[in-house]
Amino acid sequence: MKTTQTILSIILAAACALPGWAVAEDFPKRPIELVVPYGAGGTTDVFARSFSRVISKYLPNEQRVVVVNKPGGAATIGMSLVAASKADGYTLAFTPSGTLEVMPHYGRTRWSLDDFEPVMSFLEIPASINVRKDSDIKDFEQFKEFASANPNQFTYATSGGTGASTHLAMEYFSEVSELAVRHIPFEGQAAAQSALLGGQVMGTFSIPDIHKGGEIRPLVFLTEARPLSEVYQDIPTATEAGVPVTASFPMAILAPQGVPPERLKIIHDAFKAAMDDPEVVKFFDTAGLPRTYKDGETLGEGMRERSAKNKRLLEQLGLI
C-alpha cells in the first residue's frame, strides 16, 4: 500500500511539473491588467471598462480585470508595455488591431506582430465614406460619378493621420475602384468631423453618426459591419456596390507571446462568456454596434493579411 502511494505521489509530482498541468487550477491568482493604449474616456477605454465590470463572474476565483490606460506614441507606448511584460497572462492588451498592422513597418517599435498572441476580437468597428447631410452627393453612384469626372477633387479626412490604418484602407479602396480621391489627415475623429462640417473637406472615412442625429451621411461601408440602426440597412457595402474591397478594424484582446495555452483559454473563455452578459449586451446596444466574435486563430490570420497589405501600400506611398 505504501509502495502504491509512493508511486502515485511520484506520478502526480511529475505531472505537475509538466507545462500547463497546474495552470488551469492556479490561474488567475490576482487581478489581470487590461492595458488600453489610449486615454480614459475614449471609445476603446469605455469598451474595456464595460467588460471589466462583469468579467469577474466568468474568471476562476472571481478575479478582477483592471483597466490601465497607457496613451501616447500613436498607441505604441501601451503596446510596448504589453510586449515587454511577463508572459504569464496577467497583462493583456485591449486595442484596435490596426496599431499592430501598421506601426512596426515604420521601424520605430521594438516589437512586431509576432510578439503578440491574439486571444479574440469582439467588435468590428464599422467605417464608411461619409458626406455632410446637405451634400449634393446623395449616394455611392453619385460619388463614383463625381470622383471619376474630377480626379483628386474629392477630399476626405480620417483620424490617425497619414499612414494610419484608416488612411491605408481608403488608399486600397482607391486602388481597386480606380477612383482618385485625396486624403487630408487629421489626428482624431472629432477633428476630422469638424473639418467636414466646416467645409474644409468633402468627406470622411469613419464611423457614421446619423443614427444619433449626427450631420454626416454614409455613402458606402468599406467594412462588412454596419451600426445596428435600421437607417444603415440600405447603405451598401463596397462589395455589394461592385467594388471588391473589405476593410476590417477589429477591437482585439491580445497577450504577449509565450503565455501558456491553458491560460489563454481561460482568458478567451471568460471574455467570450462576458460578450453575452446582459450588461455588456446592453452597452453594445446603447452604442449601436454589433457584437462580432472572432477566435484567436481567425483574428491572427486577418491581422497578418492586413499587415502585409499595409506594408505594400506604405512602400507604394513612399512612407517607408
Q: Which pLDDT does position 25 carry in this prediction?
A: 57
User: Picking from 3-17, 31-45, 46-60, 81-95, which range would have the lowest pLDDT averaged per residue?
Assistant: 3-17
Residue that has been written with the C-alpha cell 461592385 in this structure: 242
CATH code matching the domain that covers 128-232, chosen among 3.90.1170.40, 3.40.190.10, 1.10.540.10, 3.40.250.10: 3.40.190.10
Please check whether the two domains, 19-124+249-316 and 128-232, share a CATH topology.
yes
Question: What does pTM read for this prediction?
Answer: 0.86
Phi, psi angle pair for 104, to nearest 5°: -60, -25
The CATH class for the domain spanning 19-124+249-316 reads: alpha beta
pLDDT band for position 263 (cuts 50, 70, 90): very high
Report the chain's mean pLDDT, rounded to a whole number: 91
Residues in the chain: 320
pLDDT the model gives residue 158: 92
- Name the strand (E) or helix (H) holding 230: none
Residue 27 grid cell: 490561474
Alpha helices in 150-260 (DSSP H): 165-177, 189-197
